[in-house]
């Protein structure tokens, strides 16, 4: 039965042709994708030239990706998609926990195991030394003993170890475990914010939109314990001028804290402190990781 | 002012950050893109793992592109986006004309100039010889003299010259001009349909959706004349088993014709014939080309 295809009937035609998809979840994902992409094209009244510009842009994004650079994740981040996916992930928890934030491209597995109180600063640093501490609790506030706390961050100039050293040398990363009351504490330096990589097509987009391209100062965490939902998140420093305009929308109110010059509760005296507590929801059978973009090398490998 | 980001507030946050875009058209395109992408993610309730699969897929599509292969256009085609963009293009005309169809990846500029009645078959062929003819008229049915008619097509096995020969040798392509009454006629062979390139990520998607991957038999045209809107289109043969299920949604009712064994009006006697008329709308100041994907090499060059 021949149909007349126009800018409206094409949507059902495309969805009908995909109706043979055996995987019900794939079908469930593709059907609204087609509907929303088509609705966008109609709403924007895209011309062939404009869509070709879009095709060129997406091609350039794909071609910018390497084992060390994931430009599509950067695009996802800068369009707010990664933040949205994190929020949907949080919403599926059956108990409220610490909100997720972007894992970013600088996470490394196998960061060095450390003891509570150790410093993650392993290279000479001019940064402001601080104590970073808090508690990992369940949703009722009860401490979670021996919880895994992985921490990584940029230095006082806004650079991660991967951007400065031989990649085999780690700095400003550590893997801690909480004490019997769920406490963690360590020494580090206050981080600086930084600009996202601006030398690719996503940078071109950010400039075309006259956005500043900065992320506010933050410290990354992955926190988990057996029986609990792992949380991938970050704390953000209140004083940063970009704390309310993060280019990748990782900041949310509940993740903002500050450097406290005089904190009588800090576990290491005579140092400024950053305090941040984590609340873990109990895991359910369906829980999976929230690490969007944890490993660019795997993605390009799979993609190539 | 710090905001609480969740799966709903993220959308306004992203759109507000893009409000500084100086180019009003870019802003007008990006705002609904963000809204529809986000609405899709919410509606599909995408998980981080699923979105990462999507990122991997898009990366693979970008990395498959070369100067001779445009996998993102193939993705656009197979999602119905190219067809939709063509329909929007047609709708912007101030007069009704022949409907656009996909230009596809095999168009070449500078096809050989030919005289009416010439054959575009320049290599030995086992195909069914036919006469292809019709008229180019304006929207009132008045013939357009000296209109440019570029034609290109696959052979009786479903292959274009670029898939068979040294790329410097052209076959089954020609550039004609209509006579004083708007008539064109030429000799060729009846084309066969073919499968889209299935060796890339788009092929993986088509297989995952259990779609057949075929395009029905068709002949491509670009028809234009000074003062008229150029039309990029194709005719489709009614007998093809995939004429109602084109993988790239190029077929629409008005573009379907057939091979006529006995046509007393055919300008070359004793040959089966394919008749197809074109109606050109007058051009307006805003008219631009409808050649989505005409030149993959330009795209990758721009993209790289």
Q: Using CA atoms, how far apart are residues B192 and B237, in angstroms rounded to an integer?
A: 9
pLDDT per residue as tens digits for the range B112-167? 999 999 999 999 999 999 999 999 999 999 999 999 999 999 999 999 998 887 77
Cα-based distances in Å from B59 to A28, A37, A102, A303, B72: 22, 18, 19, 6, 10
Question: Quick one: A149 and A182 in the same domain?
Answer: yes
Q: How high is the pLDDT of residue B213? A: 98
Question: Quick one: A26 and A144 in the same domain?
Answer: no
Is B213 contained in some domain?
yes
Q: How high is the pLDDT of residue A222? A: 97
Cβ-Cβ contacts under 8 Å, A21 against chain B: 208-210
Mutate to test the interface with B, among A10, A38, A72, A248 (most CBs of B within 10 A): A10
Q: H helices within A71-169, ranges in order?
A: 71-78, 81-91
Min Cα separation B112/chain A (Å): 26
| A49 to B288: CB separation less than 8 angstroms, yes or no | yes
The CATH number that applies at residue B243 is 2.60.130.10
* Mean pLDDT for all residues in chain B: 92
| A17 to B61: CB separation less than 8 angstroms, yes or no | no
| A81 to B13: CB separation less than 8 angstroms, yes or no | no
Cβ-Cβ contacts under 8 Å, B210 against chain A: 20-22
Report the pLDDT averaged over residues A277-290.
78
Of B14, B57, B210, the CB nearest to A249: B14
pLDDT per residue as tens digits for the range A73-125? 999 999 999 999 999 999 999 999 999 999 988 898 889 999 999 999 999 99
> Which residue in B288, B238, B299 sits closest to B100, CA to CA?
B288
Q: How high is the pLDDT of residue B296? A: 45
Q: How high is the pLDDT of residue B227? A: 94
| B10 to A84: CB separation less than 8 angstroms, yes or no | yes
| A62 to B58: CB separation less than 8 angstroms, yes or no | yes
Is B88 contained in some domain?
yes
Does residue B178 carry a pLDDT above 60? Answer: yes
The chain A residue lying nearest B14, using CA atoms, is A80
Q: How high is the pLDDT of residue B2? A: 78
Q: How high is the pLDDT of residue B184? A: 98
Question: Quick one: A36 and A109 in the same domain?
Answer: no
User: B297 is written with which tokens?
Assistant: 């090499």
Is residue B55 within 8 A of residue A293, CB to CB? The reply is yes
Q: Strand B278-280 relative to strand B148-152: parallel, antiparallel, unpaired?
A: unpaired
Is A51 contained in some domain?
no
User: B303 falls in which pLDDT band (50, 70, 90)?
Assistant: very low
pLDDT per residue as tens digits for the range B20-54? 999 999 999 999 999 999 999 999 999 999 999 99
Question: Quick one: A75 and A36 in the same domain?
Answer: no
> Which residue in B95, B186, B182 sits closest to B147, CA to CA?
B182
Tell me how many domains chain A contains.
Answer: 2
The interaxial angle of helices A9-17 and B81-91, nearest 10 deg, is: 170
Is A62 contained in some domain?
no
Report the pLDDT averaged over residues B251-274.
95
Is A264 contained in some domain?
yes
Cβ-Cβ contacts under 8 Å, A56 against chain B: 299, 302-303
Cβ-Cβ contacts under 8 Å, B10 against chain A: 80, 83-84, 87, 249
Q: Using CA atoms, how far apart are residues B24 and A166, in angstroms rounded to an integer?
A: 45
For tokens 């003891």, name the residue: A115
Question: Quick one: A42 and A108 in the same domain?
Answer: no
Q: Using CA atoms, how far apart are residues B155 and B158, in angstroms rounded to an integer?
A: 5
Instruction: Locate the DSSP E strands across chain A.
Output: 129-138, 148-152, 173-177, 183-189, 194-195, 214-215, 218-224, 231-237, 256-257, 259-260, 273-275, 278-280
Owning domain of residue B151: 71-303
Q: How high is the pLDDT of residue A79? A: 98
Min Cα separation A159/chain B (Å): 24
Does residue B297 carry a pLDDT above 70? Answer: no
For tokens 């004490």, name the residue: A179
Mutate to test the interface with B, among A20, A30, A35, A36 (most CBs of B within 10 A): A36
Q: Phi and psi for A26 in degrees, rounded to 5?
A: -60, -40
| B10 to A83: CB separation less than 8 angstroms, yes or no | yes
Cα-based distances in Å from B235 to A293, B252, B276: 45, 9, 7
User: A300 falls in which pLDDT band (50, 70, 90)?
Assistant: very low
Q: Looking at this predicted complex, what is its ipTM?
A: 0.92
Cβ-Cβ contacts under 8 Å, A295 against chain B: none
Is B36 contained in some domain?
no
Q: Using CA atoms, how far apart are residues A14 and A20, in angstroms rounded to an integer?
A: 11
Report the pLDDT averaged over residues B185-201.
97
Cβ-Cβ contacts under 8 Å, B291 against chain A: 48
Q: Strand A256-257 relative to strand A194-195: parallel, antiparallel, unpaired?
A: unpaired
* Mean pLDDT for all residues in chain A: 92
Is A1 contained in some domain?
no
Is B162 contained in some domain?
yes
Question: Quick one: A17 and A116 in the same domain?
Answer: no
- Reported pTM: 0.91
3-state helix, strand, coil in chain B (%, to 5): 30, 20, 50
| A63 to B4: CB separation less than 8 angstroms, yes or no | no
pLDDT per residue as tens digits for the range B84-104? 999 999 999 999 999 999 998
> Which residue in B87, B170, B97, B167 sits closest to B138, CA to CA?
B97
Question: Quick one: A96 and A41 in the same domain?
Answer: no
| A59 to B59: CB separation less than 8 angstroms, yes or no | no
| A48 to B249: CB separation less than 8 angstroms, yes or no | no
| B59 to A34: CB separation less than 8 angstroms, yes or no | no
Q: Using CA atoms, how far apart are residues A140 and A160, in angstroms rounded to an integer?
A: 35
Q: Using CA atoms, how far apart are residues B77 and B57, in angstroms rounded to an integer?
A: 16
The interaxial angle of helices B71-78 and B201-208, nearest 10 deg, is: 20
Q: How high is the pLDDT of residue B289? A: 52
Min Cα separation B122/chain A (Å): 33
| A293 to B55: CB separation less than 8 angstroms, yes or no | yes
């Amino acid at each position: 039965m021949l149909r007349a295809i126009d800018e409206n009937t094409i949507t059902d035609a495309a969805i009908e042709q995909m109706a043979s998809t055996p995987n019900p979840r794939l079908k469930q994902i593709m059907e609204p994708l087609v509907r929303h992409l088509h609705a966008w094209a109609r709403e924007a009244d895209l011309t062939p030239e404009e869509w070709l510009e879009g095709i060129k842009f997406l091609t350039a994004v794909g071609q910018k990706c390497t084992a060390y650079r994931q430009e599509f994740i950067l695009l996802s981040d800068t369009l707010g998609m990664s933040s949205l996916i994190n929020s949907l992930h949080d919403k599926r928890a059956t108990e409220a926990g610490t909100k997720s934030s972007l894992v970013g491209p600088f996470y490394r597995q196998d960061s060095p195991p450390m003891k509570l109180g150790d410093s993650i600063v392993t290279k000479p640093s001019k940064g402001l030394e601080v104590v970073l501490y808090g508690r990992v609790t369940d949703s009722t506030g009860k401490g979670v003993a021996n919880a895994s706390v992985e921490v990584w961050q940029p230095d006082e100039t806004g650079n991660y170890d991967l951007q400065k050293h031989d990649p085999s040398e780690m700095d400003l990363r550590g893997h801690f475990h909480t004490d019997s009351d769920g406490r963690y504490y360590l020494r580090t330096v206050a981080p600086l914010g930084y600009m996202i990589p601006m030398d690719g097509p996503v940078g071109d987009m950010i400039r075309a939109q006259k956005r500043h391209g900065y992320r506010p100062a933050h410290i990354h965490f992955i926190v988990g314990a057996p029986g609990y939902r792992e949380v991938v998140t970050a704390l953000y420093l209140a004083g940063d001028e970009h704390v309310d305009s993060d280019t990748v929308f990782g900041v949310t109110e509940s993740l903002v804290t500050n450097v406290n010059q005089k904190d009588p509760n800090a576990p290491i005296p005579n140092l400024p402190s950053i305090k941040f507590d984590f609340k873990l929801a109990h895991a359910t059978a369906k829980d999976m990781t929230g690490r969007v973009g944890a490993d660019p090398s795997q993605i390009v490998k799979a993609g190539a």
